[in-house]
Structure 1
């Protein structure tokens, strides 16, 4: 909420054409930053504002950005300031729907400030239809369908089964290795599903993932806001990722391992944005 409030303030300042000096002074007075940092923050938001035509994701608005990275890979970035746990649930559900729509696998990158879908080249994804489908989808059913096939489900089931003494950590004084426990848990998971899909340990595993790791309750609340138009959904197309989406794009690149590589990639994206602005 604090980030949403800050972005809302910055958008108002930029809409009014407030002087750089005054905005920087306001940032210094309200936040524990020095002048250099405040100036960097101002320029960061101003570049995004100019590049997207005044589209800064603020409170009560969900900005959806269609873009592509320097390698031509397509992304749909959801600038959703709802926190990591909510975004984790929303991103998985959105990816399932998008995958069903285009008939292909979709990659996901998640952070506190939003999530991004990596769409295969040549796929035709209708963003407006995607958003409409998300608004009326059964989130819990979608997520349960997705979670069952993941390593997360297998690991969490092992923990729940161990707490229920269905998988033993020790036997007759001997410690059972984690790998052996995992193998036993996988066999047990299949057996439990055959006996009863609502087996208590299975249900506890789903509850732990959906409510403790993710935040399904608040994800459903965001879904309700979208459905009832309490949150305005704005779609924007950009030739290269906007400044506020750079971090999500970099997080999704498997070949960016070292911080030096990350810095170089961020600088590359920033230079592309600046060239676009100079050409306007």
Structure 2
């Protein structure tokens, strides 16, 4: 089975609705390649390593969460950017990238997939009056202590999280934002939520956890964002009959 590259763009835009969110990069087709797509590789970031794997797998397209052309970056096509784009263009590979739209999709998004993986029942957005809330909140089926939840994260993400214990309370309510969403901890704490999960941590995040009494888990930017691109790839395979392969280029951050 195959699909036209412009038709796949239409389908992805219909699925992920990039027009509904303000972002820091262009969402959708970032590099145009061959018109007919039958084999696609999905991954977290459009690194040189992922591109080379896509070439090895004779992929016609790549779907990622982290693409190119970020706000404020050097606009010149030199160095690392030139090498990446050169390989895509040499092999006529389409690059599709969706950043915040992939974080917030209610079923296939990074936040939704992380909740599913960790057994969190989603109750809504953390930004209560924002229907496009990037951060989410939910509940565990049964309360667990901090160390038990730490081991659940470590086992299911295959990565030991950084943990800051914010008190003696068990965890029932949880808020989370994958990737670099640690700034939402203040909002989670102000709502009395038991624990907050993100990918990254900042110096001030720890002080918030300690002083506002909320448990904090930094589970890795890459580790928390593996699952959205994988889920969309599986959707594409099922919906359009394409051959899709998720390739995880490990990143300890």
- In terms of fraction of residues, the more strand-rich structure is 2
Q: Same fold (TM over 0.5)?
A: no
**TM class by shorter-chain length?**
under 0.3
Instruction: Kindly name which structure, 1 or 2, has the bigger radius of gyration based on alpha carbons.
Output: 1
Q: Give the TM-score of the pair, scaled to structure 1.
A: 0.24
